[in-house]
Amino acid sequence: MTDEEQARMDALEKSLRAKLKRWRYREFFPEDGPLRRELYARHMAFFKAGLTYRERLLMAANRIGKTTAGGYETTMHLTGRYPDWWPGRRFDKPGSWVAAGTTLETTRDIVQAELLGHGEDYGTGMIPHADIVDLKKRPNTNGAVDFAVIRHQAGGEARLSLKSFDQGRKAFEGTARQGVWLDEEPKLAIYTECLTRTATTDGIVMVTFTPLEGATDVVMDFIEHADLVS
């Protein structure tokens, strides 16, 4: 192979790798291989529970893929790109969603990165680049996104608002929501407000966290009233 041919091959490989980065959600939960979905029974149970329950909590140890699960499902609802094997809730039209973390910084570095990509490399998170219609950054926050407009497969556009618990309960007031994903444990007042926002839409609230604060109001509410699924 000549140097010119090698250069063309290298350029092609680089281009293919860049395109694959923009379809990241396809890497997760395949049918076969070392990352096949049958190995992720808890994740599958969490997804499936969405058929029955409006409120769900994935409470587990650190580094087991809680944020991945929340980001993946949120992406499915925002884009309508449900895989054939999807066992959970499906929405047949786009809606308004909120995703939130503890602070604006952690929302940017964890939740936003999971959904949209790290930094300004938008489209390298779970949500495909082709589906990101528009987004607006918050001023003076070193790249934190305020909201994004996402193309839905059923036609029309979904809206994703990124918030943080340190903004307080009032930041979660406002319009009805199709769904809310809270990554880390919120105060009970914020959780209750999110439930209120989804009440008229038959929407869903998903929470993913490690119970670092112990037996808080939110933890005990789920322990005392929730059904365990597996």
**E runs forming strands in the chain:** 55-59, 96-101, 132-137, 145-151, 157-164, 179-183, 204-209
Instruction: Tell me, yes or no, if 5 is annotated catalytic.
Output: no
* Catalytic option among 184, 185, 213, 224: 184
CB neighbours of residue 222 within 10 Å: 18
Locate 130 and state its tokens. 């082709």
Two tokens, residue 78: 């925002």
Give the CA distances from residue 79 to residues 36, 44, 120, 132, 147, in Å, rounded to whole numbers and listed in that order.
22, 19, 20, 9, 15
Q: Which residue has the tokens 């489209």?
A: 123
Active-site positions read 184
